[in-house]
Amino acid sequence: MDLDDTDVHILKGIQDDARVSYRTLAKKIGVSVPTISARVSTLQELGIIRGYRTDIDPQRLDEEQVLVVVKCTPAAKSEIASALAEFEEVRWVGTAREPKVIALATVTSEGRIEPLLDQVSQVPEVLDYECLDIASVVKDVSAAIITEGLSTTLICFQCKDPIHGEPVKVKMDRRDHYFCCHSCERLYIERYQRIKEKAQV
Ligand SMILES: [Zn+2]
């Protein structure tokens, strides 16, 4: 599905400032407040807006960052990535197309990276690893680049799986809802009505 200009302007606006009010956004973009609210809900349901975080600088808190690159057997990639993700110190993990896992960890003044690395090195599928202490961070911004002509794969509002083929499209409360099948549609609408009834009590 292609995102239109309104979606792009909304994403840009809230990426720059998650605390911007819908009223300010509406005025800036030239649409109504209910339009902003409906679009933001849809962008959340589609998993494009993942959340609203505050950007706290670890360096200002005397915390150190460490980049870990783990070389492993191809089959073990996702398992090792999940294992790394379990550590609180690990703040970002990804798998490369190559048989490697990359993690960015933050070490507090009392914390140490060695226990984490010890555990990593003991996993039999780990062939080698490299650990780089970050000396300075020159740039650290949101990963998504918001520009015209963005598109997304629709995901089912109920089961959250990608929708292949024609989606089941339902308009409720002035906005489109997408489902992979009619049973997901039914489950979602039941849940939606229960929440609405509760809100009205
Ligand atoms: Zn579904």
Measure the CA–CA gap between 185 and 132, rounded to whole angstroms: 48
Rounded to the nearest angstrom, the distance between the alpha carbon of 162 and the centre of ligand 1 is 8
Rounded to the nearest angstrom, the distance between the alpha carbon of 122 and the centre of ligand 1 is 40
pLDDT in tens, 80-95: 999 999 989 999 999 9
Q: Does the pLDDT of residue 56 top 90, yes or no?
A: yes
Rounded to the nearest angstrom, the distance between the alpha carbon of 157 and the centre of ligand 1 is 7
Rounded to the nearest angstrom, the distance between the alpha carbon of 166 and the centre of ligand 1 is 12
Of 2, 12, 3, 38, nearest to 144 (Cα)? 12
Rounded to the nearest angstrom, the distance between the alpha carbon of 50 and the centre of ligand 1 is 19
Percent above pLDDT 90 for the chain: 78
Measure the CA–CA gap between 111 and 92, rounded to whole angstroms: 17
Rounded to the nearest angstrom, the distance between the alpha carbon of 144 and the centre of ligand 1 is 26
Measure the CA–CA gap between 106 and 132, rounded to whole angstroms: 12
pLDDT in tens, 104-148: 999 987 767 888 888 888 888 999 999 999 999 999 999 999 999
pTM: 0.84
Of 91, 120, 95, nearest to 107 (Cα)? 91
Q: Does the pLDDT of residue 55 top 80, yes or no?
A: yes
| DSSP one-letter code for 46 | T
